[in-house]
Amino acid sequence: MLEIKDLHASIEDKKILNGINLEVNAGEVHAIMGPNGSGKSTLASVIAGKEEFEIKKGSIALEGEDLEELDPEERAHKGIFLSFQYPVEIPGVSVTNFMKTAINASRKAKGLEDMPANQMLKLIREKSEMLEIDRKFLSRSLNEGFSGGEKKRNEIFQMAMLEPKLAILDETDSGLDIDALRIVANGVNKLRGKDNAIIVITHYQRLLEYIVPDFVHVLHDGKIVKSGTKELALELEEKGYDWIKQETVV
Amino acid sequence: MDLKDKLLSSFLAFENNVDLDHPVHEVRSEAIKNFEEKGFPSKKEEAWKYTSLNGIQKVDFSIFPKKENTLEYKDIKKYFLHEIDTYKIVFIDGVYSSYLSETTHDGVDVCLMSAALTKPQYKQVIDVYFNKVASKDESLTTLNTAFSKEGAYIYIPKNKVPKKPIQIVHLATGNEAALMLQPRNLVIVEENAEVQIIERHQSLTGNEVLTNSVTEIFAAKDANVDYYKVQNDENTASLIDNTYISQKDKSIVRVHTFSFGGKLTRNNLNFYQNGEYMDSVLKGVTILGEKQHVDHHTLVHHAQPNCESHQDYKGIFGEKSTGVFNGKIIVDKIAQKTNAFQQNNNVLISDKATINTKPQLEIFADDVKCSHGCTIGQLDEDALFYLQSRGIPKKEATALLMYAFANNVLESVRIPELKTRINKIIANKLGVRVGFEL
């Protein structure tokens, strides 16, 4: 589904990604771990199409189609979703209206009519119940005054609404207490299927107890330095990132 | 003949139609002397540095309309907040239109300045309030004072609340090639009384209109006043709005200014706090395009302790439009425990649009909280990326963010139907999809 080949990316001439190779197939969950500053969030932003990052070399393709020339919204229409580490607060736009606008924009791009209001309401009800989101929450301004946990839950709610092919969860576990983590992870697990894929970016192994990955990759200095199965995450937790750094040096 | 000379000679004609023995005429005579001496302000004056009245002075304005004009309500309904029942004081080319208006004397006075300035039963109030807070040396204010004859007169006695909001609507028919209007409003809200007023100036054609308006508002102890200015006029209509507000203890006065149109708009909004524990709220949303120009000049004078003021002006400037925000706050030495907040945020969406923003703080007390912030910028790139990453195209995402930015100011609008109306105007201006209810 996603194919990243020898990807080099920079921001303001500062190299952040230095030759990433990654292949993610439909039905798979990949975890990307690594110390702070290793390039995890940059990789997520580059896949989603953030303009500040410049691709110097290599390619990213979704289902065989090169993404480099596509705007973020076009990538979203193709089925890419990024759950933000720091969701942006947008006062004056309610969660519900934001979702309506987003869903209808995607439908328009596919040549479909707006989703009928009753169908939209039903979908919102269904997905908000799945994530145990209070109805009152949906009429509040997007992310404004939300707690860390509410923001993350709202991100996964958006993911559930948009049903992406490829979801990238950037540090979705940060700022979550254990109950919120369980709710969010359950939501994500319900969205797992044979036709979609998920990339989980995390610093800690904790989230991976709930969202069990098929593959684990370790990122260091903008490169994947080690790949393995879920056991690798446990090993990392035990030995710490210094172990990887030392191994890389050797 | 330039406009100043024309106005001075018109004053003689004006005197033929008013009672020269009335004490108000002494005020007028003093005022015209001041205007004669000062004339129109020029760009050399600091307060007019960014707003030029040169163009206006070259236009051959009619000072008095040649004939009375009429309009059908159905043709102009859209300029009224018609969704709710309101009192209406309506003027066509500066002349009162009784059939479009709905005035009252039922417990409160919602009527005409011309009546208040001539009839004996209003004399006592006029003596106490008329021209008492308006400037006696600012030239455009004195020009208006000299010609003061018609406008809205609103008197709310102690503990009274009018049954419904009041709309003051000025319509210009375009039957004159160029018309100058000088409405004069007086609003008195006595102790513990309340009022909500919506004011609009609307030109109906592309003919030139210049309005030089003065409004005096007196809010007594515990009074609560909401004043909404809807400025969405044609590109050939200019407005100089001079509003003076005198507040007493524990009163709250909120003025919202919605500037979406017009050729040149100057808002001189002056708050004088003469008491304790009061709140002055000044809010503005400005969305301009083409070569439109809006200049907000605010003054809040804190003269007593324990008072607050809140200013929040947001502006979005496209094409070749220009904006000015000059916010002056004076805190007198005795006005301890003052909380004065001022915020002016602007977004420029075109390379050719400009904004000049300047806070002016003169603080003589030492125990005060004053904050001010001016920003001029583009939209938040992170917010834009966030919306785009959810599939919302850049253009629509930009509009949505601007909408959210401007919309924030509407929270304090206390007439829901007006809020909805302003929401829709903002959405239309920014190209946010119609039916996008927030």
Q: Considering only CB atoms, which chain A residues are within 8 Å of B413? A: none
Q: Do B394 and A71 touch (CB under 8 A)?
A: yes
Tell me, yes or no, if A92 comes closer than 8 A to chain B by beta carbon: yes
In chain B, how many domains are there? 2
- Rounded to two decimals, the ipTM of the complex is 0.95
Confidence grade of residue A239 (pLDDT, cut at 50, 70, 90): confident
Q: What secondary structure letter does DSSP report for A112?
A: P
Coil, strand or helix at B25: helix
Whether B294 maps to a domain, the answer reads no
Angstrom distance (rounded) from CA B213 to CA B199: 11
pLDDT given for residue B272 in this prediction: 98
DSSP collapsed to 3 states, B201-254: EEECCCCEEEEEEEEEEEECCCCEEEEEEEECCCCCEEEEEEEEEEECCCCEEE
Angstrom distance (rounded) from CA A217 to CA A247: 15
**Considering only alpha carbons, which residue of chain A is nearest residue B379?**
A90
Coil, strand or helix at B3: helix
Whether B370 maps to a domain, the answer reads no
Q: Do B396 and A101 touch (CB under 8 A)?
A: yes
Tell me, yes or no, if B408 comes closer than 8 A to chain A by beta carbon: yes
Which residues have C-beta within 8 Å of that of residue A112, sequence separation ≥ 6?
none
Same domain, B20 and B143: yes
Angstrom distance (rounded) from CA A112 to CA A188: 27
Q: Do B385 and A72 touch (CB under 8 A)?
A: yes
DSSP collapsed to 3 states, B326-390: EEEEEECCCCCCCEEEEEEEEEECCCCCEEEEEEEEEECCCCCEEEEEEEEECCCHHHHHHHHCC
Whether B99 maps to a domain, the answer reads yes
Domain range for B38 is 3-274
Whether B68 maps to a domain, the answer reads yes
* Last-in-domain residue among B241, B274, B307: B274
Q: Are B205 and B93 in contact (CB under 8 A)?
A: no
Q: What secondary structure letter does DSSP report for B105?
A: -
Extract the tokens encoding B370.
Answer: 């004053």
Same domain, B7 and B145: yes
pLDDT tens per residue across all 438 residues of chain B? 799 999 999 999 999 989 999 999 999 999 999 999 999 999 999 999 999 999 999 999 999 888 788 899 999 999 999 999 999 999 999 999 999 999 999 999 999 999 999 999 999 999 999 999 999 999 999 999 999 999 999 999 999 999 999 999 999 999 999 999 999 999 999 999 999 999 999 999 999 999 999 999 999 999 999 999 999 999 999 999 999 999 999 999 999 999 999 999 999 999 999 999 999 999 999 999 999 999 999 999 999 999 999 999 999 999 999 999 999 999 999 999 999 999 999 999 889 999 999 999 999 999 999 999 998 987 888 999 999 999 999 988 988 888 888 888 998 999 999 998 998 898 888 887 644 444
* Last-in-domain residue among B259, B274, B289: B274
User: What residue type is assigned to position A241 of the chain?
Assistant: Y
* Last-in-domain residue among B229, B248, B274: B274
Q: What are residue B152's DSSP bridge partners?
A: B112
Angstrom distance (rounded) from CA B145 to CA B124: 19
pLDDT given for residue B278 in this prediction: 97
Q: Do A88 and B382 touch (CB under 8 A)?
A: yes
Q: Kindly report the backbone phi and psi dihedral angles of residue A85, in degrees, each rounded to the nearest multiple of 5, phi listed first.
A: -65, -40
pTM of the model: 0.85
Whether B364 maps to a domain, the answer reads no
Q: Are B156 and B129 in contact (CB under 8 A)?
A: no
- Cα-Cα-Cα-Cα dihedral sign, residues A184, A190, A193, A195: negative
pLDDT in tens, B19-30: 999 999 999 999
A11, A45, A46, A93: best to mutate for the B interface, most B CBs within 10 A: A93
Q: N- to C-terminal Cα distance for chain A?
A: 34
Angstrom distance (rounded) from CA A31 to CA A224: 12
pLDDT in tens, B180-225: 999 999 999 999 999 999 999 999 999 999 999 999 999 999 999 9
Tell me, yes or no, if B390 comes closer than 8 A to chain A by beta carbon: yes
pLDDT given for residue B433 in this prediction: 64
Whether B367 maps to a domain, the answer reads no
Q: Do A92 and B403 touch (CB under 8 A)?
A: yes
Domains in chain A, ordered, with CATH? Answer: 2-249 (3.40.50.300)
Same domain, B29 and B167: yes
Whether B360 maps to a domain, the answer reads no
Tell me, yes or no, if B436 comes closer than 8 A to chain A by beta carbon: yes
Whether B32 maps to a domain, the answer reads yes
